[in-house]
Amino acid sequence: MTHRPIIEHIQNHVTASPKDLQLFTSKLREVSVAKGKFLLQPATPVKHEYFVLNGCLKAYYLDKKGNKNIVQFAIENWWLGDFDAFYNQGPASLHIEAVENSTLLAINYNELQLLFQEAPIFERYFRILITRAFISLRKRIISSLGKNTKERYLEFCESYPSIEDRVPNYQIANYLGVSAENLSRVRRKMKTLK
């Protein structure tokens, strides 16, 4: 099991001692999910959060009419989970499905609470990550209200570099809240202009 990506990710955000890093990585467990299989399904208990080593996953929920609504993609170096259920230790409301064969590192809820006691630097690490996630979610709301398809797609490519050829067009459109036809048109035009 390789820990190098998560260690680099931590060191990009905070200054952790070798002892703290060792403690953190000792709590991780590797998980694999094959393409099209589920990491999480609604109504099951949520005991873990996940860091993506490789692959690509999507988190979505089904609305009352059974429509799929994608709330997050995750690729290499992203954290992923049903944060509401994890934080409140309730059952999942999201589906998390692998878009590609994926390998993740899982951290257990109780282990994480212990870690916060033992190495408070990880309070800082997760505070910084969740602050960024909050800001980017708020930007996404503002974006969905005032921006056109091209602007939203460019923001998406910035948030998820290298994902645009890995996820089908209609799934990106779903995430962005635009029609698949409209998004293909915009993407074709952008390619012609390159």
Catalog residues that contact a second copy under the rule CB under 8 A.
Answer: 61, 63-64, 69, 71, 83-84, 87-88, 116, 120, 123-124, 126-127, 130-135, 137-142, 145-146
Kindly give, in sequence order, each residue whose CB lies less than 8 Å from that of residue 103, ignoring residues fewer than 6 positions away. 30, 31, 32, 52, 53, 54, 55
CB of 95 to a second copy, least distance (A): 13
Give the span between the Cα atoms of 18 and 84, in whole angstroms: 31
Residue 116 or residue 170: which is nearer to a second copy going by CB? 116
Question: 162-186 burial, b for 16+ CB within 10 Å, e for fewer?
Answer: ebeeebeeebbbbbbebeeeebeeb
Q: Which residue's CB is nearer to a second copy, number 108 or number 143? A: 143
Rounded least distance, CB 49 to a second copy, Å: 11
Give the nearer residue to a second copy in terms of CB position, either 127 or 188: 127
Label residue 192 exposed, middle or buried (CB < 10 Å: 0-12, 13-18, 19+): exposed
Instruction: Quote the least distance from Cβ 119 to a second copy, whole Å.
Output: 10
What gap in Å lies between CA 119 and CA 17, rounded to an integer? 10
Q: Which CB, 31 or 133, lies closer to a second copy?
A: 133
Q: And the tokens for 65?
A: 């009419």
Complex with a second copy: residue 3 or 140, whichever CB lies closer? 140
